[in-house]
Amino acid sequence: MNYKIRSIREKMKLLNIQGLIISNPENIRYIIGIPVEGTILLTDKENVFITDARYIEEVNNFLTINDEFIIYDNKDVSEEDNQTFFSDCENVGFEENYVTYANYENIIRKYRIRNIEETDRIIEKERMIKDEKEILYIEKACEITDKCFEHLLNYIKIGMTERQVAFEIEKFFLDNGADGVAFESIVASGENSSKPHAIPSDKIIRFGDPITIDFGAKYKGYCADMTRTIFAGEVSDELQNLYNYILKNQLRTTKDIKEGVSCKMIARSVENDFYLYNYTLIHALGHGVGLNVHELPILSHNSQSILKENMVVTNEPGIYLTGKYGIRIEDTIRVGKLESEVLTKSSKQILVVDAK
Amino acid sequence: MNYKIRSIREKMKLLNIQGLIISNPENIRYIIGIPVEGTILLTDKENVFITDARYIEEVNNFLTINDEFIIYDNKDVSEEDNQTFFSDCENVGFEENYVTYANYENIIRKYRIRNIEETDRIIEKERMIKDEKEILYIEKACEITDKCFEHLLNYIKIGMTERQVAFEIEKFFLDNGADGVAFESIVASGENSSKPHAIPSDKIIRFGDPITIDFGAKYKGYCADMTRTIFAGEVSDELQNLYNYILKNQLRTTKDIKEGVSCKMIARSVENDFYLYNYTLIHALGHGVGLNVHELPILSHNSQSILKENMVVTNEPGIYLTGKYGIRIEDTIRVGKLESEVLTKSSKQILVVDAK
């Protein structure tokens, strides 16, 4: 059986559920391996994928006998079929963090479920550890992101707007084999950089501005996530000092990230250092990256996760001085047994782009 | 009071709910008028918008005394505040088609709600009829889409891939003042055009191919939606006949679309005509367009909606001959009292693009 399904079925035993309904598209893509619409039903008897005419052929070609999936066209699934799938299941799990309340009610009616059970992100937890192919796709997404950054260093000029730079990122990704952006790029210059989630505006990049660029390509569904803060024309001593202080924390964290370390301790270590210097870390230090740009685990003081080999996480300390400016430095990192590998390889030296 | 809130409060009376929790971002954008994150609480006493530091200033600047909104920074809202908002409400409504089951449980706990009630898309139904500003934005989105189509007629050449054309659409929108694409463009050539929801592929556009392009710009959050089927190099008599047959239905429907007409009857009329000629309409004839590209009303045989002035809907009959080809022609239309206005103005004549 597909190793992903086998592992999910083991977790189902622990939750004492005999059936599971999977409807979150990213979870389906994770299990099936290609982007197709439908619903996966794991019953006590079989693995079922209900899709429609648009995808049947593709799914049949892609899945092998090893996957042990029975594939249905939804137009061939009768009301009675639906009521039979889970007829021998005492408890059936569902994705309570994805399914709307209205669909929750539909599901119970449609499949005549006796006991429906919350599953606490059962699939999302499986997705934390990436396999070889997933890592390959993330590496490729990071590679395109790095290339784009190199391009931006020549492209960005004083007098351009933030929005222009954001457009250029999207164009570059599309022209260089990516699916597109993994998330809406942040390009925040000068005062705007003091907002961690600034939206690219028509503000013009001025001499002396720090420019925070938070961006990432998506490749075959998998995301990269990188932030660099660069400087327009010149960089003041004040900005250099703050930059180097954040970089020191970012580099130390990268060394800390490896199998067996708790996400909470990693985040606390940066928080404590910031505290000593009178700064505050106002967002999580990092998060998992995969089919979603934000996924499990979270690297923050209230995380319960322990890092494991082949998790892929970000490391993104940032300091934001309201009304002045902000600096953030972020990499996407594959967790290793003894040391981890930084997948976004762009320079983290202080970089100054052309004055005109 | 903001006319939208006043109208929603009237509907709340009909549903016998004294409070309402609004969390769907498009519904919040509709009510507040700008894209901001947060939660709207309508209680029996006041209109509350809970947001965070990122948006407070912008919201305060944008809203006027007329809006009668009390704005909170979520970090200033205590557990007790949350338990007080609805303390005098017998029944509190929520968006059961947006809120996940997990959040539904959170909401009840957090606000100590006595009776929670489903509201059957209360805000989405309000959004069906557009005001002057909304129509202006949709018109602008349609205008950019038309310009893009004109550009494509020169740009598309035999030998290009579908994906190249889809990229060009996105670039054109970004370069011409749009927020971006309203939805992932469909560019389906030759046999691919027989799939109504084909994803742009690396298939090369060949001499004689029909090319179905379903695309639309987004402007200040509002969508356009247009489909044209054009032809590469030449168009066979068979394709011309099918094209003209679909166009005849599309034009008749445009005449039918006006205030007071039932969506069901409009769809049935096309379905019946198709039936006479041995074709089947395999998707809805149309749908509302606004902040979402697909919204209410639906123009299909099981719709209960009646068209009203200033609804904006699509009219998109299509025929798909599996393994051969497909043709669809779609406009975005503003419903008028006596006649409607087609907002996407690109030519619907048979158009043949260059042979090389």
- Encode pLDDT of B50-92 as tens digits: 999 878 888 988 988 888 999 999 999 999 999 999 999 999 9
What local confidence, expressed as pLDDT, does residue A57 receive? 86
Cα B310 from Cα B297, distance rounded (Å): 12
Q: Which residues of A touch B170 (CB under 8 A)?
A: 170, 174
Q: Which two tokens stand for residue B118?
A: 């489903």
Nearest to B104 among A101, A170, A171 (CB): A101
Beta bridge partners of B39: B50
Structure tokens, B38 = 């947060």
Q: In sequence order, what DSSP letters do the residues of B266-305 get, joined into one string? A: HHHHHHHHHHHTT----S-SEEE-SSSSSEEEEESTT---
| Residue type, position B240, single letter | Q
Give dist(CA A136, CA A195) in Å, integer: 33
State the nearest Cα–Cα gap between B330 and chain A, in angstroms: 21
* Strand-pair partners of B328: B318
Q: Which amino acid is at B91?
A: N
Which tens digit of pLDDT belongs to each residue from B98-138? 999 999 999 999 999 999 999 999 999 999 999 999 999 99
Cβ-proximal residues to A238 (8 Å cutoff; 6+ apart), any chain: none
Q: Identify the CA nearest to A122 among candidates A85, A92, A93.
A: A93
DSSP letter at B328?
E
Per-block mean pLDDT, blocks of 10 residues, chain A (356 long): 92 97 97 94 95 88 89 95 96 98 97 97 98 98 98 96 92 91 96 89 94 98 98 96 98 98 98 97 96 98 96 98 94 97 98 82
Closest partner CB to B100 (pick from A54, A100, A105)? A100
DSSP secondary structure letter of residue B48: E
Helix H, strand E, coil C: the string for A149-162 is HHHHHHHCCCCCEH
Q: In the numeric block, which tokens belong to residue B196? A: 């109504």
The H or E element that residue B73 is part of is: strand B69-73
Mean pLDDT value across chain B: 95
A101: nearest CB among B96, B170, B175: B96
Q: Which residues of B298-333 are buried (b: 16+ CB within 10 A; e: fewer)?
A: bbbbebebebeebbbbbbbbbbbeeeebbbbbbbbb
Cβ contacts (< 8 Å) between A197 and chain B: which residues?
A: 54
Instruction: Check if the beta carbon of residue A128 is closer than 8 Å to that of residue A141.
Output: no
> What is the C-alpha separation between A209 and A291, in angstroms, rounded?
34
Which of B96, B102, B174 has its CB closest to that of A97? B102
Q: Where are the alpha helices (DSSP H) in chain A?
A: 3-14, 25-32, 53-62, 79-85, 101-110, 122-126, 132-155, 162-175, 237-256, 263-276
Among the listed residues B264, B277, B288, B266, the one whose alpha carbon sits nearest the alpha carbon of residue B125? B288
Answer whether residue B355 shows pLDDT above 80. no
Q: CB–CB of B34/B58 below 8 Å?
A: yes
Judged on CB neighbours under 10 Å (0-12, 13-18, 19+), B225 is buried
Q: Which of A171, A165, A328 is nearest to A245 (CA)?
A: A328
DSSP sequence for B231-273: EES---HHHHHHHHHHHHHHHHHHHH-STT-BHHHHHHHHHHH
CA atoms within 13 A on the CB side of A94: 23
Q: Report chain A residues touching chain B, CB-CB < 8 A.
A: 54, 94, 96-102, 104-105, 118, 167, 170-171, 174-175, 195, 197
Residues from B in contact with A at Cβ < 8 Å: 54, 94, 96-102, 104-105, 118, 167, 170-171, 174-175, 180, 195, 197
Long-range contacts: A40-48, Cβ < 8 Å, 24+? A41/A85, A41/A86, A42/A5, A42/A8, A42/A9, A42/A12, A43/A18, A43/A19, A43/A85, A43/A86, A43/A88, A43/A89, A44/A18, A44/A19, A44/A88, A44/A89, A45/A88, A46/A70, A47/A1, A47/A2, A47/A5, A48/A72, A48/A85
How far are the Cα atoms of A56, A230, B42, B90, B115 from residue B78, in angstroms, in the given order?
Answer: 51, 39, 18, 22, 22
The Cα of A258 is separated from the nearest Cα of chain B by a number of Å equal to 32
Helix (H) or strand (E) holding B165: helix B162-175
First CA to last CA distance, chain B: 59
Window from A27-41, B27-41, B192-206 with minimum mean pLDDT: B192-206
**pTM for the whole thing?**
0.90
Domains and CATH numbers, chain A: 3-126 (3.40.350.10), 132-353 (3.90.230.10)
Residues of A in contact with B173 (CB under 8 A): none
What was the pLDDT predicted at B242?
97
- H or E segment at B136? helix B132-155
**A107 C-beta neighbours (distance < 10 Å), count:** 19
Helix (H, G, I), strand (E, B) or coil at B230: strand
Residue for token digits 């300091």?
A319
Average pLDDT over residues B207-235: 97
Task: Calculate mean pLDDT across residues B232-248.
Answer: 97
Residue type, A141: A
Where does the pLDDT of residue B97 fall: very low under 50, low under 70, confident under 90, or very high at 90 and above?
Answer: very high
Q: Which two tokens stand for residue A255?
A: 């060394």
Chain-chain contact of A94 with B101 (C-beta, under 8 angstroms): yes
Q: At what angle do helices B3-14 and B25-32 cross, to 10 degrees?
A: 120
Residue B269 token pair: 């009329």
pLDDT for residue A355: 62
Q: How far is CA B154 from the centre of its chain?
A: 28
Residue B231: name the closest of B266, B193, B265, B263 by CA: B193
The residue whose two tokens read 């309570």 is A96
What is the reported pLDDT for A1? 76
Both structure tokens of B257 = 């679309």
